[in-house]
Amino acid sequence: MVSTKTPERAHGKMMTGAEIFVRSLVEEGVEVVFGYPGGAVIGIYDALHDITDIRHILTRHEQGATHAAEGYAKASGKPGVVLVTSGPGATNTVTGIADAYMDSIPIVIFTGQVAVKMIGNDAFQEADIVGITRPITKHNFLVKDVRELTRTIKEAFFIATTGRPGPVLVDLPKDVMAQKTLFEYPKSVELRGYQPVVEGNAKQVKKAAELISKAKRPVLYVGGGVINSNAARELQILAEKLRCPVTTTLHGLGAFPEGNALSMGMLGMHGTWYSNVAVSYCDVLIAIGARFDDRVTGKVEAFAVEAKKVHIDIDPAAISKNVPVDVPIVGDVKHVLRALTELVEPLDTADWLATIAQWKAEHPLRYKHDDSLRAQHVIQALGDLTSGDAVVVTDVGQHQMWAAQFYRWKHPRSHITSGGLGTMGFSLPASMGAAFANPKHPVVSISGDGGFQMNSQELATIVQHQLPIKIFVINNGFLGMVRQWQELFWRKRYSHVDITAPDFVKLAEAYGCKALRVAAPSEVENAIQTALEYHEGPILIEFVVAREDNVYPMIPAGQTINELMDNPDPVLPSGNGSSTKSHTMVHVKG
């Protein structure tokens, strides 16, 4: 085995495109590539054969490779890298690319392509992946000349990781990979028309500070941009200086510690009762790295109507896109928060915070406690036993919302999920990427019985590399979130949501993964502790939970806070709340 660390003498040497590709990745500091070989990239895989500086992970499906790259990027802050072949290899990455685009995740996807002269001839395993992915990539390239390769790769990584992060695809015809040229890797990138703004406009920052100084009922509304910018510390300093309550989006979880008294948890469709009411009543809403998506706003015309709005975001296209704002600030969140913190003074929010504290006591997150095993119990126990220090990767559905509600997040990059696209099958391969990024931290993958089956083949990859991932399968025998909507809004007409599943324990064991099943509430803590103490490889626990359980609170899609549905069951409080009141529908009048 030889090292590909690129000495200066390598520059100026004649190399094939495949060799240049590998050395270019080394120049970019790439340590892990997730991929699947095929005829169009066989030359690249030959160039990868003898290297030690780049670790190639052979996934069992190309969609798994893209989700793994997403998990790696989210957990590490570095770009994830994917390498696949042409045709179906390339098209299998589309769902993962769309997911990364929606959630602003920096990944670079390299796809093989037929020879340049064959493009457009319907050649074997040809697909116009550049055309297919144009709407779901930040940018994409087709390399037609080996002399363009290094510049293209440099630009791809630059575009993916700067400004609002996102996926970039580079299509590599196999004849270009066989051509030779001198290897010279550029040291910098200059792209006309692409110069992301980092520092916020000083006048706008001052205007925001002046508006905030008049607030009596302020709220900080925090999105994933804070985590992308590594600005969690700056956010906490600002919140504590202002004495301002904080609510986060799904992707903002972990940006602000939920053990802090200023935290209101998540807002939106399945956010806490008190965060949604606070946003409805606030007089100044400060949106930081968030995009006012529909799962947060509901009916846009009724969202935070009493509030003046400040919006800080690095993407100018996101400003006032969904909700008009009073003070827009384009810039990197970390830089803008530092500038804003210097200008603001502490606010008199004692009455406001006392009101929110009362709401928290009266309307805590809670769930039914009976003889049935509840997914909320599993999530809460996991949070208690890990003290919130694990990296938790969730799939999509009810368990995803329960994890957002009950885990008690406190660290940035500890919560990884599919938000904008809502991709079932995300968790298992994404947890694999997170495990490669964070080998010293416990990684927990949580999936429903439906989502787990969509990419269960990646158990083979996880076992091959003996990744100590704790895999939780929440099995209620339903496509739970769809069933919930059918119960609440479609007269309980359960159409095609009763899903047949394999024996998950036997399936895991067939792959060589340790596995066990839990069906009683009394077994939960011991099973989770067993998983946390198991380090010889992955372990899967199937939790057989109540078949019909709903996620509350809930604001129906496109509705307002006036239609907020709270838990109608006779329940005991979870957490520090003391209320056992039942609320089927809560009406809030401004």
Q: Residue 587: its pLDDT value, please?
A: 39
3-state SS, residue 416: strand
The pairing of strands 14-16 and 180-182 is antiparallel
To 5 degrees, how large is the angle CA 18–CA 24–CA 27? 150
Residues 20/183, Cβ–Cβ less than 8 Å: yes
124 as an active site residue: the answer is yes
Residues of the chain with pLDDT under 50: 1-2, 6-7, 573-590
**Interaxial angle between packed helices 398-406 and 375-386, expressed in degrees from 0 to 180 and rounded to the nearest 10:** 40
Tokens of 193: 């028309």
368 as an active site residue: the answer is no
Q: Residue 585: its pLDDT value, please?
A: 35
Tokens of 240: 């504590």
Pick from 338, 203, 229: nearest CA to 290: 229
SS3 annotation, 46-103: HHHCCECCCEEEECCCHHHHHHHHHHHHHHHCCCEEEEECCCHHHHCCHHHHHHHHHC
Cα-Cα-Cα-Cα dihedral sign, residues 154, 157, 159, 162: negative
Residues 270/296, Cβ–Cβ less than 8 Å: no
Give, for 504, the enclosing helix (H) or strand (E): helix 504-510
Q: Which amino acid is at 233?
A: R
Residues 250/417, Cβ–Cβ less than 8 Å: yes
- For residue range 403-451, what is the model confidence (pLDDT) as tens digits? 999 999 999 999 999 999 999 999 999 999 999 999 988 999 999 999 9
What residues have CB less than 8 Å from 387, skipping those under 6 apart? none
Q: Which of 125, 179, 236, 457 is catalytic?
A: 125
Burial of 132 (0-12, 13-18, 19+ CB in 10 A): middle
Q: Which of 102, 264, 481, 554 is catalytic?
A: 481
DSSP bridge partners of 540: 471, 515
Cα-Cα-Cα-Cα dihedral sign, residues 281, 284, 290, 294: positive
What residues have CB less than 8 Å from 205, skipping those under 6 apart? 329, 336, 339, 340, 343
Residues 172/44, Cβ–Cβ less than 8 Å: yes
Pick from 531, 254, 266: nearest CA to 414: 254
Residues 428/455, Cβ–Cβ less than 8 Å: yes
Give, for 482, the enclosing helix (H) or strand (E): helix 480-489
Q: Which of 138, 174, 360, 470 is catalytic?
A: 174
Pick from 154, 25, 156, 168: nearest CA to 104: 168
Residues 121/133, Cβ–Cβ less than 8 Å: no
- Fold equal for 8-182 and 202-362: yes
Q: Residue 568: its pLDDT value, please?
A: 78
- Under DSSP, the state recorded for 567 is P
pTM assigned to the model: 0.94
Per the listing, tokens 């699947």 go with 36
Distance between CA 418 and CA 397 in Å, rounded? 10
What is the fold of 202-362?
Answer: Rossmann fold (3.40.50)
309 as an active site residue: the answer is no
Q: Residue 399: its pLDDT value, please?
A: 98
Residues of the chain by 3-state class (helix, strand, coil), percent to 5: 40, 20, 45
Please provide the distance, in angstroms rounded to a whole number, between the alpha carbons at the two ends of the chain. Answer: 69
Tokens of 475: 């099995």
Residues 92/100, Cβ–Cβ less than 8 Å: no
Residues 465/57, Cβ–Cβ less than 8 Å: yes
Per the listing, tokens 């040497």 go with 13
Distance between CA 53 and CA 4 in Å, rounded? 6
Tokens of 464: 């091959």
Tokens of 338: 């530092």
The domain segmentation of the chain, as residue ranges, is: 8-182, 202-362, 369-544
Q: Residue 576: its pLDDT value, please?
A: 37
Q: Residue 9: its pLDDT value, please?
A: 53
Residues 400/251, Cβ–Cβ less than 8 Å: no
Distance between CA 306 and CA 278 in Å, rounded? 11
- For residue range 287-344, what is the model confidence (pLDDT) as tens digits? 999 999 999 999 999 999 999 999 999 999 999 999 999 999 999 999 999 999 999 9
DSSP bridge partners of 447: 473
CATH number of 8-182: 3.40.50.970
3-state SS, residue 137: coil
Question: 369-544 falls under which CATH superfamily?
Answer: Thiamin diphosphate (ThDP)-binding fold, Pyr/PP domains (3.40.50.970)
Q: Residue 571: its pLDDT value, please?
A: 52
Cα-Cα-Cα-Cα dihedral sign, residues 100, 101, 102, 106: positive
Cα-Cα-Cα-Cα dihedral sign, residues 421, 426, 429, 435: positive
Distance between CA 148 and CA 179 in Å, rounded? 12
Q: Which of 62, 155, 234, 258 is catalytic?
A: 62
Give, for 542, the enclosing helix (H) or strand (E): strand 539-544
481 as an active site residue: the answer is yes
Residue 553, preceding bond cis, omega within 30 degrees?
yes
Distance between CA 168 and CA 326 in Å, rounded? 33
Distance between CA 480 and CA 109 in Å, rounded? 33
Tokens of 543: 């939790």
Q: Which of 124, 180, 195, 581 is catalytic?
A: 124
125 as an active site residue: the answer is yes
